[in-house]
């Protein structure tokens, strides 16, 4: 999936979060975005998914200009084409692990238990499908979030600090699962991270500042 952002700018009142952000992610490419806390990385990622709004510029996903779509159209495009790994997991506490992972498929009305099992195995959670989230460790929960983001084979995976709260060994395992699954599906990925080790795995690293984004 191709993601093309041109001259994107966002502000709250008089305060600019970022401006002049242009970037192109090719199909299958893995781009890492780094930058100081508060510079707007999460905001930018949310704009890429059409979950937040911007004030200047365009976000185009596979030829679809998100700025021209209404909320329903954006939601449909996201449901089919985008996987999102949130920093805070956002795993639903009352659903078991397998049900959490199956959620994107249910929203598409395409349930597929075998696919859910395969994803759980791929991220190292085989046999844990019937556990509730509260019965998992932080690293395991993050892998549930990764499995859920990839289960419907999105063309674009957006991941916000997926290893932020993990010890280095667990972080490496989570990154292994994330990169392997994304590559296997040929999906594009944008990863926001403070981790040098995680960014080093990307095809390209971009630095976000208040002035724009650059290598
Ligand atoms: N509703 C709001 N009103 C005003 N400013 C806001 C609002 N929401 C976010 N901001 C500001 O926007 C900026 C960007 O926030 P964002 O969460 O995108 O940063 P970040 O780069 O992801 O930081 P971190 O690395 O700490 O996660 C911050 O300076 C924040 O204070
Ligand atoms: Mg952030």
pLDDT reading at 176 higher than 80? yes
**pLDDT 10s digits, 23-48:** 999 999 999 999 999 999 999 999 99
Q: What is the mean pLDDT of the chain?
A: 94
Residue 210 has a pLDDT of 86
Q: Whose CA is nearest to atom 26 of ligand 1?
A: 37
- Nearest ligand, CA 34: 1
CA distances to 41, 85, 89, 160, 194 from 74, in Å: 20, 18, 22, 20, 29
Q: Whose CA is nearest to atom 5 of ligand 1?
A: 12
**Which atom of ligand 1 is the closest one to the Cα of 12?**
4
User: Can you tell me the mean pLDDT for 59-77?
Assistant: 96
Residue 71 has a pLDDT of 94
Ligand 1 neighbour 37 (Cβ under 6 A):
yes
Instruction: Tell me what percent of the residues of the chain surpass a pLDDT of 70.
Output: 100
Q: Whose CA is nearest to atom 28 of ligand 1?
A: 38
CA distances to 28, 129, 149, 155 from 102, in Å: 24, 10, 10, 18
Nearest 5°: CA angle at 186, between 214 and 81? 80
**Model pTM score:** 0.94
**pLDDT 10s digits, 178-193:** 999 899 999 999 999 9
Ligand 1 neighbour 3 (Cβ under 6 A):
no
Tokens of 5: 């952002």
Ligand 1 neighbour 41 (Cβ under 6 A):
yes
CA distances to 67, 141, 172, 205 from 163, in Å: 31, 11, 8, 17
Residues 101 and 120: beta-carbon distance below 8 Å: yes
Q: Whose CA is nearest to atom 29 of ligand 1?
A: 38
pLDDT reading at 152 higher than 90? yes
CA distances to 27, 45, 46, 48, 174 from 82, in Å: 13, 12, 11, 10, 19
Partner residues linked to 189 by β-bridges: 30, 157
Ligand 1 neighbour 40 (Cβ under 6 A):
yes
Ligand 1 centre and the CA of 41: distance in Å? Answer: 8
pLDDT reading at 89 higher than 90? no
User: Can you tell me the mean pLDDT for 172-179?
Assistant: 89
Strand order of the β-sheet with 56-61 is: 15-25, 3-12, 56-61, 64-65
Residues 145 and 162: beta-carbon distance below 8 Å: yes
- Tell me the fold of 29-52+76-203: Rossmann fold (3.40.50)
Least trusted range by pLDDT, from 84-88, 137-141, 143-147, 185-189? 84-88
pLDDT reading at 128 higher than 80? yes
Q: Whose CA is nearest to atom 27 of ligand 1?
A: 37
């Amino acid at each position: 999936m191709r993601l093309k952002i041109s001259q994107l700018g966002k502000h709250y009142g008089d305060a600019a979060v970022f401006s002049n952000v242009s970037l192109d992610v090719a199909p299958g490419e893995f781009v890492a975005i780094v930058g100081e806390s508060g510079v707007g990385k999460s905001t930018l990622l949310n704009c890429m998914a059409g979950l937040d709004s911007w004030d200047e510029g365009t976000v185009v996903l596979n030829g679809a200009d998100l700025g021209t779509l209404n909320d329903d159209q954006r939601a449909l495009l996201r449901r089919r084409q985008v996987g999102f790994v949130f920093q805070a997991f956002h795993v639903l506490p009352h659903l078991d692990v397998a049900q959490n992972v199956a959620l994107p498929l249910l929203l598409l009305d395409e349930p597929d238990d075998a696919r859910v099992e395969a994803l759980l195995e791929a991220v190292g959670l085989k046999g844990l499908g019937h556990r509730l989230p509260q019965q998992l460790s932080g690293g395991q929960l993050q892998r549930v979030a990764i499995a859920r983001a990839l289960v419907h084979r999105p063309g674009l995976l957006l991941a916000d600090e997926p290893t932020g709260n993990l010890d280095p060994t667990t972080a490496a395992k989570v990154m292994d699962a994330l990169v392997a699954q994304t590559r296997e599906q040929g999906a594009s990925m944008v990863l926001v991270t403070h981790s040098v080790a995680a960014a080093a795995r990307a095809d390209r690293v971009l630095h976000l500042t208040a002035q724009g984004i650059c290598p």
